[in-house]
Amino acid sequence: MEAAAARSTRLTWLALAFGTTLAVPLARVGADARWLAAMGREIVRTGSIPARIPYAAAPSAHWANVPVLAELVFHALESTLGDRGLVLAQLVAVVTALVFLALDMRAARIPDAARAVVLVAVLVAAVPAFTVARSQLFSLALFPLLLLLLRADARAPSRRIWLLVPLIALWSNLHGAVLVGLVVAGVYLVVERFPRQRALTAGVLAASVGALFLTPALLRSGSYYAGVLGGEAAKTGDGMWAPLSPHSFFDVTFVVVALPLVLLALRSRPALWELVCLVVLAAAAVHVSRNTVWFALFAAAPAAQRLGSFRFSRFVPRRRMTALCYFAPLLLAVVGLAQPPVATSAGGPLLRKTIALAGGRPILADDLDAERLALDGQQVWIANPLDAFSRNDQRSYLEWLSGAPAGDRLLDRVAAPLLVQRGSPADKRLARDPAFRAVAHDRVAVLYAGKQSG
């Protein structure tokens, strides 16, 4: 009976269809996405890997460029399909993540209904990670693959654990969350594997750490990760580095959903390495809220294991009913893909006006608009990746974005127009500054110029 329940996947696939439906209509391109495409375009144009940020005027010499593969992939997507290409990549990442998660739970012989409930819970717990297209989409797909590999090895240890090495090598060329994957893999190897097979485990761990440096930057990859983790945004908890907050709707939603998940996971009596990872990932989620997705993905399987002990048979629909339930989500997904992505940066007319007003001078813009301008071939003052610039420039830019008075010193260095998101702290401060005037705007952004510019 248990094996039959594990083989049934009607509700699991329905949950996957629901995830697709959720991701498509809400999908948008966020910060930390278009700069990859801009860098990829530069690599293709010059045939070499730049050691600085070519679209930024602020000094960025000697930056270690690690995610080159991600830059080339994003360039291919953006140059072929525009923002819709990035949204499509996000959809593929979401489906891949959910499929790997479902396979992991199925291998543990967790009943279909429990799998479906937990898949939906994971989606709700980390909505931004599943709906905002940014460089993190690579990790969104690869982290569940890592979990699938580790838990398969925990059930039946074998030499397939060596697959960790190429997985880490690939991941390190795509996104910095490879460090999260490496920590989880390291905990498994040290806590679960090492006491039984010390030599093999030590070899896999050493090779996995070495794989982290198999990037175009080689040994300088370490300085890249140090720059990301030690940058001003990470230090001050700004933007995507913001900690879990009771004032954020999505953070509150995560807590509401994650608490039952973690209680179920603990009731399932997980292995020691899983307990350690749950603690580490929970701490990471509290410290930086965008890490909530890794906690939700990790807790899913043990939570579903416990949930599967309850009887769901009376709630399982007949096959014809399930088939009908597939139709609406898939139809909505197709309709969603046919629509243009939600605008998150200034539109074409405002961008062209900004570029014309700049007259070739570097433009100071918020992160989303700066990436959009960089992708259009325009020089900006500073943009993502912020860790490529000096600490002082990072700090000044973040202070300006937050509307802090200290950020005004950046305005003394920039003579070109300024482009900011409507209603942002920077917009509100510029609106009160008598030295600047709003010259144009659209639904998303506002263009400012100095009054002396006429």
* Measured distance CA(92)–CA(88) in Å, rounded: 6
pLDDT of 3: 44
Q: Which residue has the higher pLDDT, 30 or 169?
A: 169
Query: How does residue 19 score in pLDDT terms, banded at 50, 70 and 90?
Result: confident
Residue 57 forms part of a structural domain: no
Q: How far apart are CA 191 and CA 271, in angstroms?
A: 10
Q: What is the pLDDT of residues 280-312, one digit of tens each?
A: 999 999 999 999 999 999 999 999 999 887 765
395 and 305 fall within a common domain: no
Angle at 257 between CA 251 and CA 259, to 5 degrees: 100
Point out the domain boundary residue: 270, 301, 331: 331
The Cβ of residue 125 has, within 10 Å, a number of other Cβ atoms equal to 26
252 and 169 in a single domain? The answer is yes
For residue 108, give the 3-state DSSP assignment: coil
Residue 313, pLDDT > 70, answer no
Q: Helices 178-187 and 272-287, interaxial angle, to 10°?
A: 150
Decide if 202 contacts 190 (C-beta within 8 A).
no
Regarding whether 377 and 288 lie in a shared domain, the answer is: no
Residues 445 and 305 occupy one common structural domain: no
CA 210 → CA 2, 166, 186, 188, 204, distances in Å? Answer: 42, 11, 13, 17, 10
**Is residue 320's pLDDT more than 60?**
no
Name which of 278, 272, 242 is nearest 259 in CA terms. 278
Question: Is the same domain home to 102 and 225?
Answer: yes
Please state, in angstroms and as integers, the Cα–Cα distance from residue 148 to each residue in 10, 23, 356, following that order.
21, 23, 52
Please work out, in degrees rounded to the nearest 5, the angle formed at the alpha carbon of residue 136 by the alpha carbons of 130 and 138: 95
Q: Are strands 28-29 and 418-421 parallel, antiparallel or unpaired?
A: unpaired
| 3-state secondary structure (DSSP) of residue 252 | helix
Question: For residues 69, 71, 75 and 77, what is the CA-based torsion angle, rounded to 10 degrees?
Answer: 70
356 shares its domain with 227: no
99 in any annotated domain: yes
Return the pLDDT at 336.
Answer: 53
pLDDT of amino acid 7 = 45
Average pLDDT over residues 10-25: 74
Residues 96 and 229 in one domain: yes
Q: Tell me, yes or no, whether 146 and 290 share the same domain.
A: yes
Highest mean pLDDT among 100-109, 162-171, 239-248, 445-454: 162-171
Which range among 146-155, 244-253, 275-284 shows the weakest confidence by mean pLDDT? 244-253
Average pLDDT, integer, range 23-44: 88
Question: Which range has highest mean pLDDT (104-108, 183-187, 321-325, 420-424)?
Answer: 183-187
Among candidate residues 297, 331, 365, the one where a domain is terminated: 331
pLDDT band at 454 (very low <50, low <70, confident <90, very high): very low
Same domain, 315 and 415: no
Q: Once rounded to an integer, what is the mean pLDDT over residues 235-251?
A: 89
Please identify which residue in the block is written with the tokens 């905990």. Answer: 187
Q: Is residue 340 part of a domain?
A: no
Specify the higher pLDDT residue, 453 or 200: 200
Establish if 37 belongs to a structural domain: no
Both 397 and 309 in one domain: the answer is no
Please report the pLDDT score of residue 324 as a whole number.
Answer: 47
Question: Which residue segment(s) compose the domain that 420 sits in?
Answer: 348-453
166 lies in some domain: yes
Report pLDDT digits (tens) over 134-182. 999 999 999 999 999 999 999 999 999 999 999 999 999 999 999 999 9
How much is the mean pLDDT over the chain?
Answer: 88
Distance CA(126)–CA(248), nearest Å, equals 12
Residues 359 and 315 in one domain: no
Which pLDDT score, from 0 to 100, does residue 348 have? 87
Residue 51 lies in a domain: no
Higher per-residue confidence, 168 vs 406:
168
Residue for token pair 């907050």: 245
User: In this predicted structure, what is the pLDDT of residue 6?
Assistant: 41
pLDDT value of residue 337: 53
In this prediction, residue 188 carries a pLDDT of 97
Instruction: Choose the final residue of a domain: 275, 305, 331.
Output: 331
* 310 occurs within a structural domain: yes
Classify residue 146 as exposed, middle or buried by CB count within 10 Å of its CB (0-12, 13-18, 19+): buried
pTM: predicted TM-score of the whole model, two decimal places: 0.89
Transcribe 384-439 into DSSP letters: S-GGGS-HHHHHHHHHHHTT-GGGGGGGGG--S-EEEETTSHHHHHHHH-TTEEEE
Q: How many domains does the chain have?
A: 2
Q: Would you say residue 13 has pLDDT above 80?
A: no
Question: Does 355 share its domain with 298?
Answer: no
User: So what's the pLDDT on residue 5?
Assistant: 43
422 located within any domain? yes
Q: Give me the mean pLDDT over the 397-402 stretch.
A: 93
Do 163 and 149 touch, CB atoms closer than 8 A?
yes
